[in-house]
């Protein structure tokens, strides 16, 4: 069973008061398992709703339910400023439609970095340090994320804290003697051992992914498309293993020689990074350097609402399970 620890830090964002009349503002993003929409409660508190794609033909209803509810099960035991806060899930009684309600963030980091001109190394290191703090919290609970990538990192809407999202493939590893199974995650960020063997150390593969992110932040490009030997760039790196410190220790090919998250965080270089935390500030106002599409959309939404006399339409209120799944109408069950 998962549990939170004394290191957990309560989220700072106000909790929305959900109502079926809350309005949809925009779509925040799409992924393999579903799409995510931004809603706003009547007190202007934003929240995100992930709507999972319906059951695949090859899986049973039970398998589908287990798969999609897994993300809520993982997130509901976590409480840290660098991990997205989950509020509840909602499923239709027959279980064919599932939604996850969570704290809303900005566009993901890959998009934020692409749509804004330039960032100082200091700013990117602040972000990376926050990522490491989130991962340290997860690993202290023996949880591996297994899909750390720029597309699974967002800022809170105040641009104060980085948030790790997408716990669809996260898992607790103690019960299996620290072993993860199966090829999950994204090619560019995946560690070499995930391609080479069925079982691997999930924590070490998270470290590899944060090493790829660090490399990208420092060099403005990815080191390779894939850590497979048929990739020339990866092949030559694996032969020499030469990269500056600490990247070479984080991207150690042998997962047993790879630094742990605690070792990374004890390094004097890491400690010298200025980052935004509960009581610390890196000195950069991230909101000014990143494109703020989400915030602009929220503001536009309120202006339009005010100008039109705040009329609410049934089509874009939050209770879309009713409209999508007519067979299961009025059979929605909520879970905290």
State the minimum distance, in angstroms, from the CB of residue 238 to ligand ATP. Answer: 26
Q: How many residues bind ligand ATP (CB under 6 A)?
A: 23
Query: Which of ligand ATP, Mg ion, none lies near 246, with the C-beta cut-off 5 to 8 A by kind?
Result: none
Q: Which residues are CB-contacts of 208 (< 8 A; sequence separation ≥ 6)?
A: 189, 190, 191, 192, 227, 250, 251, 255, 258
Each residue 101-140 as x (binds ligand ATP by CB under 6 A) or -, in order, gives: -xxxx--x--------------------------------
User: Is residue 36 a contact partner of residue 29, using CB atoms and an 8 Å limit?
Assistant: yes
Rounded Cα distance between 313 and 85, Å, is: 28
State the minimum distance, in angstroms, from the CB of residue 13 to Mg ion. Answer: 20
Rounded Cα distance between 75 and 268, Å, is: 31
261, two tokens:
């998250």
Question: Is residue 194 within the footprint of Mg ion (CB under 5 A)?
Answer: no
Which position among 151, 193, 201, 206 is part of the footprint of ligand ATP (CB under 6 A)?
151
Q: Output 48 or 318, the one with its CB closest to ligand ATP.
A: 48
Q: Output 126 or 154, the one with its CB closest to ligand ATP.
A: 154
Q: How many residues bind Mg ion (CB under 5 A)?
A: 3
Which position among 82, 106, 152, 180 is part of the footprint of Mg ion (CB under 5 A)?
152
Q: What is the DSSP string of 214-283?
A: HHHHHHSS-S-S-SSTTSHHHHHHHHH----TTHHHHT-SSTTTSPPHHHHHHSHHHHT-----SS---S
Question: Is residue 31 within the footprint of Mg ion (CB under 5 A)?
Answer: yes
For residue 74, CA distances in Å to 79, 97, 174, 207, 221 come to 11, 19, 14, 20, 32
Q: Residue number with the shortest CB distance to ligand ATP?
A: 31
111 has binding-site annotation: no
Q: Which residues are CB-contacts of 19 (< 8 A; sequence separation ≥ 6)?
A: 41, 42, 318
Question: Is residue 156 within the footprint of Mg ion (CB under 5 A)?
Answer: no
Question: Is residue 162 within the footprint of ligand ATP (CB under 6 A)?
Answer: no
Rounded Cα distance between 73 and 89, Å, is: 10
Q: Output 152 or 294, the one with its CB closest to Mg ion.
A: 152
Question: Is residue 192 within the footprint of ligand ATP (CB under 6 A)?
Answer: no
Binding-site ranges for ligand ATP (CB under 6 A): 28-34, 36, 48, 50, 84, 102-105, 108, 147, 151-152, 154, 165-166, 168
Binding-site ranges for Mg ion (CB under 5 A): 31, 152, 166
* Residues in binding site for ATP: 50
């Amino acid at each position: 069973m998962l549990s939170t620890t004394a290191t957990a830090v309560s989220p700072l964002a106000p909790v929305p008061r959900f109502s079926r009349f809350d309005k949809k503002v925009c779509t925040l993003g799409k992924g393999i398992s579903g799409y995510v929409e931004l809603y706003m409660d009547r007190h202007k508190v934003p929240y995100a709703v992930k709507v999972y794609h319906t059951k695949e033909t090859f899986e049973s209803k039970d398998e589908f339910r287990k798969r999609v509810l897994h993300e809520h099960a993982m997130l509901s035991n976590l409480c840290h400023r660098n991990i997205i806060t989950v509020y509840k899930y909602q499923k239709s009684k027959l279980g064919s439609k599932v939604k996850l309600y969570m704290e809303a963030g900005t566009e993901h980091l890959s998009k934020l970095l692409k749509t804004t001109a330039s960032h100082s190394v200091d700013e990117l290191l602040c972000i990376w340090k926050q990522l490491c703090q989130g991962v340290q919290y997860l690993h202290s609970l023996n949880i591996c994320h297994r899909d750390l990538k720029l597309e699974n990192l967002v800022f809170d809407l105040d641009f104060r804290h980085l948030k790790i999202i997408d716990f669809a493939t996260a898992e607790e590893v103690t019960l299996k003697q620290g072993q993860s199974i199966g090829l999950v995650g994204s090619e560019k960020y995946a560690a070499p051992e995930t391609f080479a063997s069925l079982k691997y150390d999930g924590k070490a593969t998270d470290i590899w992914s944060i090493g790829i992110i660090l490399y990208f932040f420092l060099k403005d490009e990815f080191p390779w498309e894939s850590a497979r030997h048929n990739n020339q760039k990866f092949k030559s790196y694996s032969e020499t293993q030469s990269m500056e410190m600490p990247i070479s220790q984080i991207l150690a090919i042998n997962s047993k020689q790879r630094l742990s998250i605690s070792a990374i965080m004890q390094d004097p270089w890491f400690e010298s990074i200025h980052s935004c935390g509960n009581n610390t500030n890196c000195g950069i106002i991230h909101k000014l350097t990143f494109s703020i599409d989400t915030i602009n959309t929220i503001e536009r939404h309120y202006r339009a609402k005010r100008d039109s006399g705040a009329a609410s339409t049934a089509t874009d209120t939050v209770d879309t399970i009713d409209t999508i799944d007519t067979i299961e109408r009025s059979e929605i069950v909520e879970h905290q």
